[in-house]
Amino acid sequence: MAVYDSDAGLLAHGLFSQVEIHAEYGGVVPEIASRDHVRKLLPLINQCLDEAGLDRSAIDAVAYTAGPGLIGALLVGTAIGRSIAFALERPAIAVHHMEGHLLAPMLETEPPSFPFVALLVSGGHTLLVEVRGIGEYRILGETLDDAAGEAFDKTAKLLGLGYPGGPVLAKLAETGDAERFAFPRPMTNRPGLDFSFSGLKTHTRNLWMNTEHDATSQADIAAGFQLAVVDTLAIKCRRAMQQTRANQLVVAGGVGANIALRKALQQDGRKHGWDVAFPRLEFCTDNGAMIAFAGCQRLMAGQSSGLELQSFARWPLDQLSPLEQTGP
């Protein structure tokens, strides 16, 4: 949840993490997620309005995530967001979750400017996108199987590291020797910008099965795996930057919080003369601020959504409309 003002910027934001609830099951349980959204959303909205010192009547529009993702959770946000807008007689804006991630670096004090190449790495997506403006997205590459975050999560589970896998594995990797075991860099020896992480996952599983299950091996495998993912993402980013002749790279999504990835891409940026922009760590992973920001941009361009309650489990990013083409 977040309150965003087009002039003053972010006035308040709040997050209720479901990590503890899902940890018991080792992953997100969709029905539990939806039910918990029902319980937590309205109190969180009130909390953020209090923090911003605003009454509901001060809201000019309500933006909500309409997709893509788990349909039950999306429906809760859609129903509540759309209903509040209806009750306040204000416009509602259906926001694309990945557009939210993509624009998150613009919440920072030195925002990137268009055009740029975006690497979007989350639990559900791995995308390289050429961005000419808001809503002007050309997909350069995507994963053919697991998303980068999913690969982190599954590997962490395999190593017995618990949930959520990405941050736990990344922490352990800091103490490991990334060079002890060899890991593949999938799909980097052929042209193109697509990704595939399932082979790396299988490689890691076989390695773990054939290695002593001690703390050192666990850390060394975590470090080798992380380096393989980081290298693979960095190789594809270099390729995308060269192909598009862009000079700005934007990195967002949960895996964008990975320190090793941030360091590697920043180093590449310095070497090749590219600007590399990230959101602050808390706005890499899912948050309301990025959705409020994306909604505000579309609202200011005169866009809003109809009265129907519609959520989309699948919603290709390149189907979004550019801002210029829609009038009030």
The contact set with Zn ion (CB under 5 A) reads 122, 286
In angstroms, give the least distance from the CB of 156 to Zn ion: 18
| DSSP string for residues in 47-64 | HHHHHHT--GGG---EEE
**Cβ at position 278, least distance to ligand KG4 in Å:** 12
With CB under 6 A as the contact rule, the residue among 130, 136, 153, 220 that binds ligand KG4 is 153
Residue 254 near ligand KG4 by CB under 6 A: yes
The rounded distance, in Å, linking the Cα atoms of 205 and 241 is 33
State how far the Cα of 301 lies from the Cα of 326, in Å rounded to an integer: 7
- The residue from 68, 149, 269, 288 that contacts ligand KG4 (CB under 6 A) is 149
Of the candidate residues 72, 124, 266, 309, the single one contacting ligand KG4 (CB under 6 A) = 124
Q: Could you give the CA distance from residue 123 to residue 255 in angstroms, rounded to a whole number?
A: 8
54: left (phi over 0), alpha (psi -120 to 50) or beta: beta
Q: Contact at 8 Å (CB) between 110 and 98?
A: no
Does 255 sit near ligand KG4 (CB under 6 A)?
Answer: yes
The only residue of 167, 239, 247, 310 in contact with ligand KG4, by rule CB under 6 A: 167
- Grouping H, G, I as helix, E, B as strand and the rest as coil, residue 116 is strand
Q: How far is the CB of 98 from Zn ion (least distance, A)?
A: 7
Interface residue with ligand KG4, options 62, 257, 292, 294 (CB under 6 A): 257
Q: Is 26 in the site for ligand KG4 (CB under 6 A)?
A: no
How far is CA 31 from its chain centroid? 21
What is the DSSP secondary structure assignment for residue 258, as one 8-state letter? -
Binding site for ligand KG4 (CB under 6 A): 122-124, 149-150, 152-153, 164-167, 170, 253-255, 257-258, 285-286
